[in-house]
Amino acid sequence: MFELDGSILIIHHWDTDGVCSGALILEQLGERKAETWTPPLGTFYLTDEHIEYARGFDNVIICDMALPAGNVKAIAESANVIMFDHHHQDPIDGITHINPVAHGASGDDYPSNTWVMKEHLGLPLRLHVLLGFIGDREQKIKDNPPFWRRIQEYMTQNGVTFEDLLELVYLIDSSYKVGDRDSVTEAPHLLREYKTREDILGNGKWKANLENLEKKMDRVLSEPPEEVDGVQLKRLDTPYAIISQVTRRLAWGTGRDTVVVNTGFFEDQDQLYSRSSIVDYHDLITKAKAYGFNAGGKKDVIGAIIPKSETENFLEETIEYIKKNR
């Protein structure tokens, strides 16, 4: 499917959607060899060193990461760049930018990067594609009738439950959540060979990771969040990459607007995540980027990496934004 000359680097997000996207590309490449790589976990940008590394390849395929346009254009100065994505971002000139949402499509029609790839490449609907949008939306995918119907058909045909499919997502995600970046970059190659649910369940390392994570999540969620102007606020101080999962569980478990801040993942920066079922975060994402923060997300979620000195101010601004846009 890909007619590419020379060496190939696949830069992919570290979650199930990104890892499955990388696996789909490896399948399309057939016997062609490709390196898989992800930025340092929790970061959504490239350093000069990372850009220089990517520029050493003839072709760079970016999956499920709305990297800053400047980073992408710098790579494109010396490499052919193809970018598959479904996050809010302006179209990037000078590359092959395959992102329907960037061109005005609804995020509801493209709930995962694997779906963008399926549509663009004419792929069949199978496990890896499904896991992409189940991973990104989890229980919320049930509120998207066309995609929930596809999942139900798959469950009926294969004799599995939604919880069975969620378990696969949690297993794949476990590598990044325990901070094992090497395992994340290995995962697309494993998933290229894993064709069935049983293949994924057979990965003992992922099973051990998941058991440790569940214990950590239980401890974190046993302590109730604060209440700030009708918004749930949870503060974490952990090196585990669990902020998005904590935010999901709090927001989806209560149906309430939720903000989570983690001060323990980076040495000089903090993570902020927020989810809502009614607030559109597009303008807040734009504002965060204007402040110089590394930020991104979709209609109902924002994630940002913020210098520690500016965390409390942006946290206050996030809560005010939620209050005004309910």
Provide the pairing of β-strand 35-37 with 8-12: parallel
pLDDT score at 252: 87
Query: What pLDDT is recorded for position 1?
Result: 58
Full-model pTM? 0.82
Domains, the chain, ranges and CATH?
A: 8-204 (3.90.1640.30), 223-325 (3.10.310.30)
Q: Which residues pair with 228 in a beta bridge?
A: 231
Query: How far apart, in whole angstroms, are the C-alpha atoms of residue 318 and residue 170?
Result: 28
d(CA 129, CA 144): 16
Instruction: Check residue 54 and report its DSSP letter.
Output: H
pLDDT of residue 44: 87
In the block, tokens 């949870």 appear at 234
In angstroms, what CA-CA distances link 176 with 1, 18, 118, 310? 29, 11, 24, 26
Among residues 42, 87, 29, the alpha carbon closest in space to that of 244 is found at: 42
Query: In this predicted structure, what is the pLDDT of residue 297?
Result: 87
Burial class (CB in 10 A: 0-12, 13-18, 19+), 78: middle
Give the model's pLDDT for residue 298: 84
Residues with pLDDT less than 70, the chain? 1
In the block, residue with structure tokens 């061109």: 103
CA distance 158 to 41: 34
